[in-house]
Every structure is written in structure tokens, then in C-alpha cells.
């Protein structure tokens, strides 16, 4: 690893920890080498070193080669560097048998934590916490039937799917809370779920919950349906943007189009008002 003095000076301006990965001499922690999987795979002992990789959020063609950098976004990139944003997707080593707290960068491409569906082997992970994660394209935690705690306190946006499958042989009861989540295109939540909190969610195209727990689907669906779009556009427009199944019942519902409905009502009243006005004049 070599940092030229001008780059070091630049990085020193706004970045406390400056990282520079020389890809022709692969940094083993982030880029395990030719032919190997090039994205972080977390386990219980490598979190600190791989978290640093997720913060290398720019890839730049510098005068001396192509490198990954962590840049403070408020600091201008040198003009002679051709930098584009670089976001990692993260994975989990399937044999992890503890709870993990992983302070990845605020923005990453995807979370892909899954057990082996093909060989019918669920993850042994018992809990998961992403204390710093804010924006992600896709989030998958599936075949993970031992997960009893789940925390994403800062997660604001999931551009695509948020898919949690915590169901399986004898899953622990869990309460799911997404205190900051404003948008997820589609949420699929499965497990021994007793409660789901989505206080800030808006515009979801659909939410599908399969709980073997005590979630009260009737109460919950009635509350969450206002956070979805009126029609679920995929694969075709259907009136089932919220589907909830649990020990306490099954509900399929959708948001009645409130804005166009009330607009129509207002329009009708306007017409009546106009007619009344005209009629009054004629008299
Ligand atoms: C990257 O490593 C190679 C091999 O050690 C070296 O020749 C090259 O100068 C390095 N490039 C940078 C930008 O440090
Ligand atoms: C965790 O992964 C690192 C590579 O990132 C490896 O060297 C280490 O042995 C792994 N630890 C365990 C407990 O599997
Ligand atoms: C989970 O733990 C069990 C028991 O130790 C083991 O047989 C299984 O292979 C582990 N699962 C994975 C995905 O490593
Ligand atoms: C969990 O995995 C570690 C190695 O990563 C192993 O030493 C330990 O025995 C495992 N614990 C259980 C309960 O399977
Ligand atoms: C997350 O995404 C939103 C919408 O694209 C953006 O406004 C916000 O700045 C992003 N937050 C971070 C920490 O990147
Ligand atoms: C969810 O995971 C369990 C194993 O943990 C599996 O049996 C089940 O088929 C999965 N469901 C879906 C819809 O993938
Ligand atoms: C879920 O929250 C309820 C209160 O809302 C509580 O009674 C219950 O014990 C919680 N369950 C779990 C698994 O934390
Ligand atoms: C939901 O959609 C409305 C209307 O398009 C938009 O103003 C709002 O920002 C969206 N909310 C989120 C969290 O994306
Ligand atoms: C959805 O429900 C609305 C009434 O709220 C109805 O007009 C529409 O035809 C329904 N659409 C489908 C695809 O069933």
C-alpha cells in the first residue's frame, strides 16, 4: 500500500482515516485476490477490518493507477482523478453462530445474508445489528431461523426488496422495528413475529407478512395500509398491497385511492355549486 504525498495531504484535509487500496497489489482484507470473491464476507472476527472496506466509497483512476478511496463527500476530488462512487455488497460466512453488530458505511449496495437454500441449511446467526446503515439497494436476510434480535436504527431507504425470512424449525419470537425507514419498495417479512413497527414508511408498493407468532394482522394491516400505494403495480395492478398472515388471522387489503376519490367528490360539489349559481341567475 502506497499513498502519494499529494493524496495523503488531500485526504488529511477532511478524512480522519484515509484508506488507499492498491488493486494491483490487492489488499487481502478487501480484495482477497484474483479468482476469489471480491466483496466483504463477514464473520465474528473480521468485522473491524471489513467494515473499513465498505467505507472505500470511491474508485478512482489516479495518475498512478486505479485505487479505492474513502473520500469525505464534502471535499472536492482532485481534478486529475477520475472517480466514480463505489458501493460494496456484503455477505455473511454461513457458519457464524453468534450475534453480529456490523457498523458498515451509511451507504452500501446490498445486504445478502442467507443460509443455503439448496442444501437446506439455515444460518446459525442469532442476531444482527447495522448501527450505521442508512441507504441500501437491497436487503436480504433469509434462511435465518435463529435470529432473535434485529436492529437497523438508522435505515432510511431500501430502493428494492427488503426480504427477511426468519422462519424455520423453531424460530425465536421477535419484534421487528424499523424506526427510520421511510421507503422500501417491497417488504417481505417472515418469522415468529409478534410486532412490526414502521412509523415513517411511505409509498411502499407492497408488504407481505407471514408470521407464526402473535402479530394481530387485523389491527396491524389496518394501520400499515396507509403507508402503501393504492395498487400494487407488480406484477400487475392488484388490490393486495398488504398481505398479513399470522396465528391471529389472515388479512389481504389495499389502500383505497383516497386522493382521487376526494378530488372527484370536490369536483362534483363544484359542478353542483355552479349549477346552483346558474339556476339562481336564471330565476
Ligand atoms: C501498486 O503495487 C504495484 C506492485 O507492488 C506497484 O508497482 C505500483 O506502483 C503500486 N501502485 C500504486 C498506485 O501504489
Ligand atoms: C473470518 O474471516 C477471515 C477472512 O476475512 C478469516 O481469516 C478468519 O479465519 C475467519 N474467522 C472465522 C472464525 O471463521
Ligand atoms: C449450524 O450449526 C450446526 C450445529 O453446530 C451445524 O451442523 C451446521 O452446519 C451449521 N450451519 C452452517 C450454515 O454452518
Ligand atoms: C460457534 O463457532 C465457533 C467457531 O466459529 C466454534 O468454536 C463454536 O464451537 C461454535 N459454537 C456452537 C455452539 O456451535
Ligand atoms: C440516503 O438517500 C437519500 C435519498 O436518496 C438521500 O437524501 C440521503 O442523503 C442519503 N443519506 C446518506 C447518509 O447517504
Ligand atoms: C424461509 O426459510 C425457511 C428455512 O429457514 C425455509 O424452510 C422456507 O422455505 C423459506 N421460505 C421462503 C419463502 O423462502
Ligand atoms: C414484543 O413487544 C411486546 C410489547 O409490545 C412485548 O410484550 C413482547 O414481550 C415483545 N416480544 C419480544 C420477543 O421481544
Ligand atoms: C412518497 O411519495 C410522495 C409523492 O410522490 C413524495 O413526496 C414523498 O417524498 C415520498 N416519500 C418517500 C419516503 O419516498
Ligand atoms: C381495486 O379496487 C377498486 C375499488 O377500490 C376497484 O375499482 C378496482 O377495480 C380494483 N382493481 C382490481 C384490479 O381488482
Q: Looking at residue 69, what is its pLDDT?
A: 73
99 shares a domain with 80: no
100 shares a domain with 45: no
64 ligand 1 Cβ < 6 A: yes
- Better-scored residue on pLDDT, 32 or 213: 213
Grid look-up 441449511 returns: 121
**Minimal CA–CA distance to 20: which of 76, 102, 81?**
81
- Statement: residue 263 has pLDDT above 60: no
**Minimal CA–CA distance to 191: which of 148, 241, 225?**
148
User: Final residue of a domain: which of 71, 86, 101?
Assistant: 86
**Minimal CA–CA distance to 195: which of 179, 171, 176, 219?**
176
Contact 80, 64 (CB under 8 A): no
Ligand 5: which atom is nearest the Cα of residue 107? 14
Q: Looking at residue 265, what is its pLDDT?
A: 34
134 shares a domain with 77: no
101 shares a domain with 196: yes
**Minimal CA–CA distance to 142: which of 112, 119, 120, 118?**
112
- Better-scored residue on pLDDT, 241 or 71: 241
188 shares a domain with 80: no
Q: Looking at residue 139, what is its pLDDT?
A: 98
Residue nearest to atom 11 of ligand 8 (CA): 202
| Cα dihedral across residues 236, 237, 239, 241: positive or negative | positive
Residue 176 CA to ligand 7 centre (angstroms): 10
- Better-scored residue on pLDDT, 268 or 178: 178
Residue 276 vs residues 191, 262, 271, 272, 283: alpha-carbon distances, Å: 58, 21, 9, 6, 11
Question: Which of 7-21, 93-107, 146-160, 228-242 bottoms out in mean pLDDT, i.e. has the lowest?
Answer: 7-21
Q: Looking at residue 170, what is its pLDDT?
A: 95
76 shares a domain with 116: no
164 shares a domain with 219: yes
**Minimal CA–CA distance to 140: which of 159, 165, 163?**
163
User: Final residue of a domain: which of 36, 62, 86?
Assistant: 86
Residue 167 CA to ligand 6 centre (angstroms): 6
Grid look-up 495531504 returns: 9
Q: Tell me the sheet residues that pair with 150.
A: 128
- Better-scored residue on pLDDT, 242 or 267: 242
- Give the cell for residue 66: 486505479
104 shares a domain with 68: no
Q: What is the pLDDT of residues 73-83, one digit of tens each?
A: 566 667 777 88
200 shares a domain with 147: yes
Mean pLDDT score across all residues of the chain: 79
Range of the domain at 204: 87-283
Q: What is the pLDDT of residues 17-72, one digit of tens each?
A: 234 443 433 355 676 555 556 788 999 999 988 888 888 777 788 787 777 776 65
The CA distance from 270 to 166, in Å, is: 52
User: Final residue of a domain: which of 86, 104, 133?
Assistant: 86
Whole-prediction pTM = 0.81
Question: Which of 112-116, 244-248, 254-258 bottoms out in mean pLDDT, i.e. has the lowest?
Answer: 254-258
Contact 56, 38 (CB under 8 A): no
Q: Looking at residue 193, what is its pLDDT?
A: 98
Q: Looking at residue 71, what is its pLDDT?
A: 64
Q: Tell me the sheet residues that pair with 16.
A: none
115 shares a domain with 75: no
Number of independent structural domains in the chain: 2
Ligand 5: which atom is nearest the Cα of residue 106? 13
45 ligand 2 Cβ < 6 A: yes
Q: Looking at residue 13, what is its pLDDT?
A: 29
275 shares a domain with 187: yes
- Give the cell for residue 7: 493524496
Q: Where are the beta strands (DSSP E) in 13-120?
A: 20-22, 41-42, 58-62, 65-69, 82-85, 89-92, 99-101, 107-114
176 shares a domain with 47: no
Amino acid at each position: 500500500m502506497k499513498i502519494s504525498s499529494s493524496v495523503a495531504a488531500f485526504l488529511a484535509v477532511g478524512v480522519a482515516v484515509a484508506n488507499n487500496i492498491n488493486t494491483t497489489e490487492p489488499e487481502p482484507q478487501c480484495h482477497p485476490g484474483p479468482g476469489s470473491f471480491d466483496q466483504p464476507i463477514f464473520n465474528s472476527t473480521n468485522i473491524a477490518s471489513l467494515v473499513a472496506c465498505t467505507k472505500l466509497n470511491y474508485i478512482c483512476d489516479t495518475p498512478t493507477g486505479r485505487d479505492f478511496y474513502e473520500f469525505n463527500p464534502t471535499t472536492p476530488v482532485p481534478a486529475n482523478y477520475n472517480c466514480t462512487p463505489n458501493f460494496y455488497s456484503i455477505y455473511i460466512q454461513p457458519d457464524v453462530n453468534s450475534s453480529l453488530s456490523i457498523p458498515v458505511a451509511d451507504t452500501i449496495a446490498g445486504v445478502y445474508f442467507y443460509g443455503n437454500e439448496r442444501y437446506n441449511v439455515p444460518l446459525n446467526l442469532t442476531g444482527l445489528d447495522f448501527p450505521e446503515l442508512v441507504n441500501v439497494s437491497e436487503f436480504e436476510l433469509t434462511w435465518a431461523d435463529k435470529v432473535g434480535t434485529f436492529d437497523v436504527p438508522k435505515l432510511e431507504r431500501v430502493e428494492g426488496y427488503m426480504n427477511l425470512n426468519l422462519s424455520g424449525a423453531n424460530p425465536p419470537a421477535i419484534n421487528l422495528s424499523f424506526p427510520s425507514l421511510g421507503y422500501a419498495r417491497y417488504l417481505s417479512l417472515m418469522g415468529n413475529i409478534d410486532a412490526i413497527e414502521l412509523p415513517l414508511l411511505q409509498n411502499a408498493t407492497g408488504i407481505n407478512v407471514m408470521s407464526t407468532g402473535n402479530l394481530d394482522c387485523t389491527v396491524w394491516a389496518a394501520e400499515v395500509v396507509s403507508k402503501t400505494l393504492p395498487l400494487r403495480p407488480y406484477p400487475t395492478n392488484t388490490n393486495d398491497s398488504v398481505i398479513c398472515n399470522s396465528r391471529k388471522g389472515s388479512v389481504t387489503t389495499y389502500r383505497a385511492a383516497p386522493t382521487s376519490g376526494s378530488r372527484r367528490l370536490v369536483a362534483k360539489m363544484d359542478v353542483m355549486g355552479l349549477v346552483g349559481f346558474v339556476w339562481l341567475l336564471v330565476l
